[in-house]
Amino acid sequence: MAKEAAFLFITLLALRFYQETALAETKTFLVGGLKGWTKENIGNWFPIGTIFYAGDKLEFEYNPTEYNVVCVDKHAYETCKAPEGALEYNKGNDQIYLEEGENYFICTTRGCCENNMKMMVVTAAGQRPTDREEMGQVRSGQDNQVRSWVRLIGIYHMFFFLFLIT
């Protein structure tokens, strides 16, 4: 009886591990593409139709002597006035994780925000679907192959452990 219970436990643990690694995917988006976060690129931050989810990451690349990125609320976004204590990024290569709901970003240097150097990103509800679900096909590429091998190795080790204890 103990062997069957151990087998069931390891099997459920392996399935849970596989499910979490398969579904908990996030993506990184380069703001403004190759041109980056600049006033010359206003309004061209992402391709039309881009869908974001909580946990996705925005990568802001810019010249830190000319620009910054400040995370603000809706009021600060509309008025271009960052409140005291607002989270400011100014390194020129900043990565910011999106939260659920509305996310607001402005540049507070040299009147950039007043000239529309600001951005709002609304995340979709729920978790990001896997690329397989999103595109109707299996994702290709080295990144997916590595994740698949890591999952398989994890499951293999769990079953190997099971056979050691039986």
Q: Sign of torsion, CA 148 28 19 157?
A: positive
**pLDDT digits (tens), the chain, 166 positions:** 665 655 555 555 555 555 444 445 789 999 998 899 998 888 888 888 889 999 999 999 999 999 999 999 999 999 999 999 999 999 999 999 999 999 999 999 989 999 999 999 999 988 887 765 444 333 334 444 445 555 656 666 666 665 666 6
3-class secondary-structure state, position 61? strand
Strands 118-124 and 52-53: parallel
Task: Say how far apart CA 57 and CA 29 lie, in whole Å.
Answer: 6
Strands 52-53 and 87-89: unpaired
pTM: 0.65
* Nearest Cα to Cα of residue 123 among 22, 26, 23, 21: 26
**Could you give the strand order of the β-sheet that contains 57-61, starting from the edge strand earlier in sequence?**
28-30, 57-61, 93-97
Q: Which segments of the chain are extended strands (E)?
A: 28-30, 52-53, 57-61, 69-72, 87-89, 93-97, 102-106, 118-124
- What b-and-e string marks burial along 18-39, b requiring 16 or more CB atoms within 10 Å of the CB? eeeeeeebeeebbbbeeebbbb
